[in-house]
Amino acid sequence: MTIFNGMNISASALTAQRLRMDVVSSNMANADTTRARLVDGEWEPYRRKMVVMEPNSNSFTSHLQRAMGNNGANNPGVKISRIMEDQTPFDLVYRPDHPDANDEGYVRLPNVDPLKEMIDLMSATRSYEANITTFDAHKNMLLKALEIGR
């Protein structure tokens, strides 16, 4: 364990939360996109994307190595394991004058709910702020430790 582990953990969380905010922004920007990708010769609306995070080292071996003082498997913090698409069905809205309407006059709209996205954005923003506070607190503790040596 090094004295910078706390800073490394906060830095990885800051990176992960920033990506989460970017994905939410992408979802909001494409909330009305009815032609996102071509599937089997037919246009499909935009699908909401979600960020999946996991700890960098969650195996028993990595915890044992860290407890024994071996830094070989020591990589604390979080990582983005994948960005997955939400598989909820698309919304059907009756708009017979829309260019993407089917024979009955219904248009498939993206499965993006702006309220969910705003809540997710607020959560990511709060987590980002909390990690900045943690990073600053750790930095201040290290600066105080350096002052002891004077």
Encode pLDDT of 93-118 as tens digits: 999 999 999 999 999 999 999 999 99
Q: What is the signed CA dihedral for 125, 128, 134, 139, rounded to 10 degrees?
A: -130
pTM strictly above 0.85: no
Predicted pLDDT at 58: 65
Confidence of residue 48 (pLDDT cuts 50, 70, 90): very high
110 in Cβ contact with 44 (< 8 Å): no
Residue 1 in this model has a pLDDT that exceeds 70: no
